[in-house]
Structure 1
Amino acid sequence: MLTHIVLFKLNDKSEETILKTKNLLLGLKEQIPCLKFIEVGVDIVHSERSYDIALYTKFDSMADMETYQVHPAHLKVLEHIKLVKEAAVAIDYES
């Protein structure tokens, strides 16, 4: 199994932008069959080092994650992310 985690820091920290981003990410589950698990969390501490949104996903294999990366639904969400993100960090590991 492969775990893919991304943390997003947003330029616009309004509730509307955060909820829209969260819902777009969660909507990927119904659109991408190889996405085995998805969880999206919104930061509640708001410290200086906090990121605003955490994406936690699982795939059966690296090939499935690569399929996810180029899936049209994922690419559409990435268009939104590029407009609203200040920064992002990611980690991918076998689990």
Structure 2
Amino acid sequence: MKTIKRRSFLTNVAITSALGAVVLPSEAKSKKKTFIHHVYFWLKNPSSEADRSKLIEGLTALSKVPTIRFHHIGLPASTNRSVIERSYSVSWMLFFDNLAEEEIYQTHPIHLKFIADYSHLWEKVTVFDSEEV
């Protein structure tokens, strides 16, 4: 029977334990359900460059909420097919690690300040939320 030194034994136990705690990428993906929050704004004055710029300024400040993983501010693209909606003024797409992170965003002081400071600019907002399959 082979004798194992105490130090080698403890090192092997530590390595084995650490490897057991490692999550493989495919397992991590299955546990993490990305949450997308996509907002479309229709301005009260859709032809006003100043109002659109002001809203974009507000969205840029709003992007500082720490639970946001990625954000995109967009304008209607020049594409033109029957299935494409182009009547909105500005879109705001956010990626979160999960629904809980998005819920933190909803009540975050930066988000509440954004609504208070900029809601006078829009007449309509439509939101599409989705979770990763």
Normalization by structure 1: what TM-score? 0.87
Deviations for 1:8-58, whole angstroms, at most 9, x for unmatched residues? 10102211110110121122223x11111111112355xx95100101100
Give the structure with the larger helix fraction.
2
Supply the AA of the counterpart residue of 2:62: L
Q: Which of 34, 41, 62 is matched with 1:28 structurally?
A: 62
Normalization by structure 2: what TM-score? 0.63
Whose RCO is larger (CA < 8 A, sep 6+)? 1
Q: 1:60 is matched with which residue?
A: 97
Distance across 1 between alignment mates of 2:75 and 2:105:
22
Moved over 3 A (4+): none
Give the structure with the larger strand fraction.
1
Structure 1, unaligned runs of 5 or more: none
RMSD value over aligned CA atoms? 1.9
* SS of aligned partner of 1:51: coil
**Does structure 1 residue 89 correspond to structure 2 residue 99?**
no
Structure 2, unaligned runs of 5 or more: 1-33, 79-84
